[in-house]
Amino acid sequence: MHRTRSAAALLAALILLFSAAFAEESGLEVEEISIETLQEDPQAEAEETAGPEVFTPSHGSPWDHDLGSSYWTTPMDITDTEAVWNMLMEPITVVDLGNVKGRNFSQRTKMNIYMYKEPDENSKIVGEVTNLSQGLRVIEHLDNGWSLVECYSSSFANHPKTVISAWNILVSGYVESKYLTQVQPTDQLALVVDKLAQRLYVFVEGKMVAELLCSTGLVQKNNDGKYQPYNETRSGEFLVINMTGSLTSDRLICSYAMRFNAGDEIHEVPHAVDKRDGSFKYNSTEPSLGSKKSHGCIRVQRLSNPEGINMKWIYNRIRSKDLCGKVKIVIWEDWQGRQLPVPDPDTVLYYNPNKGQYYHSAEHCNMASKITFTPFLYSQLDEGDFAKLKPCNFCAPARRVADIEAVNAVYAPGGDHEELLNKLRQGYYDYLAE
Ligand SMILES: [Zn+2]
């Protein structure tokens, strides 16, 4: 807040200087306005007290927000756990193509249908939706058998039927109403992935039980030197649809994998296997947790938090309780303009005064399970020896102010954190304008 005010004052001073210089040259008289007067401008005050813009997953949608607690219209604010829980427990509307001849269940979960510009399958295709797992926002059911829906288009490269390059773009279009069905998610587990925070939040029976480090997709070049825009993890709400178990990607092994949107998986941070002793090596992947890194999948920490929760725990809970097909996974889009909040200065953190190198979110942490850590305050984190501590990668403590400000600078309103991806999306926009 203070920062905003001084920036506004600086801007006001610059404007004054500029107008004074202009007036001198043109010979015009300028009424003298003091900076204090400008600072007390009631409109500026109102803007300051209004706080940052509230973002929802349907940010920028041409359709009015409804008042329900759906994924699409619930603010992306993890501190309001009650609102987030209500959103997680809302029924999810998915496409169900029914029994498709010659395709088993697994194959059907990788099929998609098109969203059309008009309620007519001869009109232009504007988006793609994955069968059985991808949630849709229903705007309107028409009398003619079609519905107007909205979602982040699930365009993948190599997808059996991908025809357009709508890489994770929020689009609305028409689908046949006969394919739409609602599924009630389980209250035994629900997951929220925030692409801005690069955190996975785990909910069980109304409570947030864990905050884990994760990595979502990063647009990067493939082996041919071409960019892969479809690496960007598609936002939206989905159902976990398949217990994959283990998969190999780029010669790395991804354990505890679960599929939720055609080819998108959520799994443990990948590891290599040491040829000499067979041990698992995480050193090429684990340090990236907390920032974008994957080819589109969601990598989750394997180190267990103070409550013993990690990717393995999530996987085993779904398998042991037979929850596959009922677990909702929500992915929040990192819209430009969204900002990470700075924690309350009185937030309690912990450390080991006896040569500890890390700071922690809990008194007891699996990094050193026998030690009872000593508390200190978030406001002290940049002072003296605390300034040397690194965030623990077991218990995911709050980021430092400087790290939060670095993320917020990239996502500042008016910027473009997806410059490369937006260039690659231009083909889709040109196609729409044809
Ligand atoms: Zn810790």
pLDDT at 9: 40
Cα 359 to ligand 1 centre (Å): 7
Query: 320 burial class (0-12, 13-18, 19+ CB within 10 angstroms)?
Result: exposed
d(CA 258, CA 265) in angstroms, rounded, equals: 5
d(CA 268, CA 190) in angstroms, rounded, equals: 17
The angle subtended at Cα 376 by Cα 374 and Cα 379, nearest 5°, is 165
d(CA 205, CA 400) in angstroms, rounded, equals: 31
Tell which residue, 315, 290, 319, has the closest CA to residue 195.
Answer: 290
Angle between helices 42-50 and 2-26 (to 10 degrees): 150
Cα 281 to ligand 1 centre (Å): 20
Mean pLDDT by 10 residues, the chain (434 residues): 39 38 37 42 52 89 84 96 98 97 95 96 96 97 97 85 88 98 98 98 98 96 87 97 94 96 96 95 95 96 96 98 98 97 97 96 95 98 97 97 98 96 93 91
d(CA 426, CA 404) in angstroms, rounded, equals: 30
pLDDT at 225: 86
d(CA 423, CA 429) in angstroms, rounded, equals: 10
Identity of the amino acid at 13 = A
Cα 56 to ligand 1 centre (Å): 31
Domain ranges of the chain: 2-50, 56-336+421-434, 348-410
The string of DSSP letters for 15-81 reads: HHHHHHHHHHHHT-------HHHHHT-HHHHHHHHH-SPP--TTTT-SSPP-SS--GGGS-S-TT-H
pTM: 0.88
Instruction: Tell me which H or E stretch contains 108.
Output: helix 105-108
pLDDT at 12: 40
Cα 396 to ligand 1 centre (Å): 7
**Model confidence pLDDT, tens digit, residues 151-173:** 999 998 877 667 899 999 999 99
**Model confidence pLDDT, tens digit, residues 286-300:** 999 999 999 999 999
Cα 361 to ligand 1 centre (Å): 6
Cα 210 to ligand 1 centre (Å): 13
Dihedral Cα 388, 391, 397, 403, nearest 10 deg: 80
pLDDT at 299: 98
Cα 351 to ligand 1 centre (Å): 9
CATH H-level superfamily of 56-336+421-434: L,D-transpeptidase catalytic domain-like (2.40.440.10)
Cα 363 to ligand 1 centre (Å): 8
Cα 389 to ligand 1 centre (Å): 12
pLDDT at 67: 67
